[in-house]
Amino acid sequence: MNKFAKWLLFGYFIYAALVVFYFLAINDSSNLPEIYRGSAADPHTFMNDRQLELTYEYSKIRHIIFFLLTPFDWILYLTILSIGLSAKFRQWAESSSKYSFFQKAIYVFWLSFVSFIILLPIDFFTYQLSKSYGISTSTFAIWMKDQLIDFWLDYIFLLLLAIVVFQLIRKNEKRWWFYAWIISIPFTIFLMFIQPVIIDPLYNDFYPLKNKDLEEKILDLASQANIPAEHVYEVNMSEKTNALNAYVTGIGRNSRIVLWDTTLSKLSDDEVLFIMAHEIAHYVKKHIYAGIAAYLIISLFGLYIASKIYNWSIKKHWRTLKINSLNDIASLPLLLVIISFLTFASSPLSNSFSRYLEHSADVYAIEMTKDKDAAIRSFQKLTIAGLSEVNPPAIVKWLRYTHPTMLERLIFIENYEVEKEK
């Protein structure tokens, strides 16, 4: 298996070289179809030369990092398996406690800790990169605090996954995937319910809008959609980023429409109202529930396929992998690789559905505000603030973009016929 690990790393380096070559030597991110030159989507019409240069540079680097890191987790977990480190974690856990729960807790901690330490320098590089391009404003202390919060949240969720899944495998080796999916339904809904009030406040402070004049305008807009006032929140993101954003989170009485304070400070009132109308659309059209339903449907098929691959891999290579049985906790890295790979493979489908919902929200927002100019300006400012690529490569769009590209959004709005109120 050491030989396997070497070939694994060799293959990854070849892949990495091809990725870098494609984005640096072949792909031209500055290319815009001639038909769109001079339009609202042409970055030359709303960006200066320095902003254009930074956007092209930053976009290329971000694309490279994404395509390098996506399989890196797979390589990491497969290496941990192939060199016997996962089996070693299991031995440490079994020698530390005779109780199954604590054995799993100890094993998951070691797996999480080693992964965290290996990935921390990479995360730090991306943080420094974002800071060097003026996107991140976070201090090292704030960044490190978020990293530690991520670690412990990931640890808790991974431990819950390990406890539930391996118990189900022990009870039913053939249909554990289905029972795991059944359990995931209430868990997913519960997680969405508590996220705005428990998880999100761990990272940032949330409070009602400070600008009372703007608050009145937003509440008037929200009332047209029958949204209660308490669903509009502001979050202090300026201590972490210069980017702009707004989003909808949570379900039921805990659902919230959230605006970053950077959005409020850098956009005019009419631009903020368009952004708010877009987020209101998600609430009115129940896109969160549609997203949950789509996730559960995809995960049903994904878990079925994962179970087939997992069961076959263990039964075929259990000696080589140093795994004692299907419900051996040491096989957790293999399960994570399979789930991660299938999630990545399904991303074109899930991203496409997400882009459809976002486009639907754009249509709702422009019909609600009747202000095309504000809509165009808001998207242009979002592009500048995030150094976002207007027309990314197709492979980037399909694998990364949960929203329509800025080219698609700006051209759509520019050509959209708004029926003015009489």
User: What does the block give as tokens for 141?
Assistant: 């202390």
> Does 403 count as an annotated binding residue?
no
Residues annotated as part of the active site: 279, 362
State whether the Cα torsion 103-109-114-118 is positive or negative.
positive
End-to-end CA distance of the chain: 74
Instruction: Pick the closest to residue 368 from 226, 209, 216 (CA basis).
Output: 226
The closest alpha carbon to 223, from 234, 211, 232, 210, belongs to 232
Compute CA distances 156 → 112, 153, 159, whole Å: 10, 5, 5
* Euclidean distance between CA atoms 49 and 27, whole angstroms: 20
- Does 317 carry a binding-site annotation? no
Per the structure block, which two tokens stand in for 121? 């320098």
- Do the annotations mark residue 358 as ligand-binding? yes
Q: Say which residues have a Cβ less than 8 Å from residue 200's Cβ, sequence separation at least 6.
A: 206, 235, 249
Q: Cα–Cα distance between 177 and 181 in angstroms, integer?
A: 6
Determine contact, residues 116/148, Cβ cutoff 8 Å.
no
Residues at the annotated binding site?
Answer: 278, 282, 358
Residues at the annotated binding site for Zn(2+)?
Answer: 278, 282, 358
